[in-house]
A and B are shown apart, each in its own frame.
Chain A
Amino acid sequence: SQQGEEDPQALSIQEGENATMNCSYKTSINNLQWYRQNSGRGLVHLILIRSNEREKHSGRLRVTLDTSKKSSSLLITASRAADTASYFCATLDSNYQLIWGAGTKLIIKP
C-alpha cells in the first residue's frame, strides 16, 4: 500500500517559473525524503527532512513538512529544462523501510 500521495500527478510550467509539488501521507513518520527520476533512469535523492524539522533548503529546492496535516511540499524555484522529471516522496515507516508515493511528473517548457 502506498504511504505517500503526490499532488498533482502531472505539472507543466514555463521555464523560469516555480514548481510546487505536494505529498500527503497516512501514518507517523521518522523522516520524509524527496527523489527525482529522469525518464528511464534510477531515482536520485534530493532532500531529507526529519519529523522534527519544518523546513529545509538545498539550492533551488525548498521542502516543508507539516506533521499535523501529514503533508509535505517540494518547491523548485526558477525552473530549468533539466528539472523535467518525475518527483517522488517517500516516508520511513516503523519498520525502517521507505514507502513511496506514485510521483508527480514535471514538464518544464522552454
Chain B
Amino acid sequence: IAGITQAPTSQILAAGRRMTLRCTQDMRHNAMYWYRQDLGLGLRLIHYSNTAGTTGKGEVPDGYSVSRANTDDFPLTLASAVPSQTSVYFCASSDQAGVGEQYFGPGTRLTVT
C-alpha cells in the first residue's frame, strides 16, 4: 500500500457505544491528524500528533481521544458516542507538522443513532 488507510469505511453505531476508528500510514510521516467534516462546515481538527508519543487537542476534541504509540498508527476513539458525532472522519499525515502538504485517507462515514 502507499498512503493512508482508514477503517472501517462506514459504520452505524448506537449512542453510548465505544468505537475506535483506525488510521495507518506507510510514508513514515511524523505528523498525523484527525478531522471531522460536516456539511457546509469544512474540516475541523479534532486531535493531532506532531511525532510518535505526543498528541495535542484541536478545535473540537471533546468526546474523542487519540494515541500515537508508533509512527504509523493513529487511532481515534469515541468513548461513548452521541448523535452529534455523526460525521465523516478523515485521517491525514504530513512529513513534519506545519510544513508542506497533508495527505488524506479515504474517510470513515460514521452514523450515531
A-side interface residues toward B, CB under 8 Å? 1-2, 4, 30, 33, 40-45, 48, 88, 90, 92, 96-103
Q: Which of B11-19, B62-70, B96-104 contacts A (4 or more CB under 8 A)?
A: B96-104
Chain B interface size, under 10 / 10 to 19 / 20 to 34 / 35 or more:
20 to 34
- Cα-based distance from A101 to B43 in the complex (angstroms): 7
B-side interface residues toward A, CB under 8 Å? 4, 33, 35, 40-45, 48, 50, 58-59, 90, 92, 97-107
Take A33-B101, A48-B100, A96-B98 as given contacts and tell me if A41 and B41 are in contact as well, using a CB distance cutoff of 8 Å.
Answer: no
Cβ–Cβ contact A102 & B41, under 8 A: yes
CB distance from A24 to the nearest CB of B (A): 14
**A–B complex contacts, Cβ < 8 Å, 14 sampled:** A30-B98, A33-B101, A40-B107, A42-B4, A42-B104, A43-B90, A48-B100, A92-B98, A97-B48, A97-B58, A98-B45, A98-B102, A100-B35, A102-B40
Cβ–Cβ contact B106 & A41, under 8 A: yes
Chain B residues closer than 8 Å to A43, beta-carbon distance: 43, 90, 92, 102, 104
In this complex, the member of B42, B98, B106 whose beta carbon has the largest number of chain A beta carbons within 10 angstroms is B42
